[in-house]
Amino acid sequence: MSQSLYSLDDKVLAFPHHHLALSEPNGLLAVGGDLSPDRLTLAYRHGIFPWFNEGDPILWWSPDPRAILPTEHVYTNRSLLKFIKKCDYRVTLNKAFVDVIAYCANAPTRDDDTWILSDMIQAYSRLHKLGMAHSIEVWQNDQLVGGLYGVAINGFFSGESMFYLRPNASKIALLALTKKLKHAGINFVDCQILNPFLQSMGAIELSRCDFLMRQQDVVSQRVADHFWHASDLSFR
């Protein structure tokens, strides 16, 4: 790692400025610290997220460019629209967070080592209990078949991971989330890093500077106290 990489103080929560992030690996901003609720909240409030593999120290990221999914421009192709009309899925909010994050960590479709380690699961489960980490669940009958989870601070939602066990279940979860956010006047989901799946749903890339300007607008956008309460969600 570069000698210029910033090491976090265990007793001080502050993060370095985004312009100190490395270009290679793209967006690596700092190392160390912990996964306490206070540090995680501060990180997401400033558009920073942790991501590290087993055996690594905690690594903190602010990539450039940054991927977002505009809630006004979610793409559903013809086959997905046909599937939505006939499928028997139902979607809920915050009714099975622990199950969703466990499936994301061990998804059968994952072809690489998981970065959702036990420390991460514990940390985000604490955030969930504090009302800042949330899950979207997709059910077929009474079986959980897909979902996603992420962190929300006011109007800012940063997606962390998703999974599916049945066709299009993760797409349905994303549609339900963006529909809920759009209804509240929230105009994007933070997707962190672009991949082919997100791009197929309409995700785009912004420069770090543009992302941070948008992010600071939505992170100060208040939502109703009940906005993230456990409930049923619409995706059609």
Plot region of 233 (φ>0 → left; ψ -120 to 50 → alpha; else → beta): beta
- Express each pLDDT in 61-103 by its tens digit: 999 999 999 999 999 999 999 999 999 999 999 999 999 999 9
Does residue 178 have a pLDDT over 80?
A: yes
Mind listing the domains of the chain with CATH numbers?
6-63 (3.30.70.3550), 67-233 (3.40.630.70)
Helix axes 118-129, 97-105, angle to 10 degrees: 160
| Mean of pLDDT values over 26-50 | 97
pLDDT at residue number 196: 96
Does residue 191 have a pLDDT over 70?
A: yes
**Per the structure block, which two tokens stand in for 58?**
């905690």
Cα(188)–Cα(149) distance, integer angstroms? 15
**pLDDT band at 115; cut points 50, 70, 90:** confident
**pLDDT band at 10; cut points 50, 70, 90:** confident
CA distances in angstroms from 47 to 63, 77, 140, 190, 209, listed in the order given: 10, 30, 34, 9, 11
**191 or 115: whose pLDDT is higher?**
191
pLDDT at residue number 202: 98
Q: For residues 104 and 162, is the Cβ–Cβ distance under 8 A?
A: yes
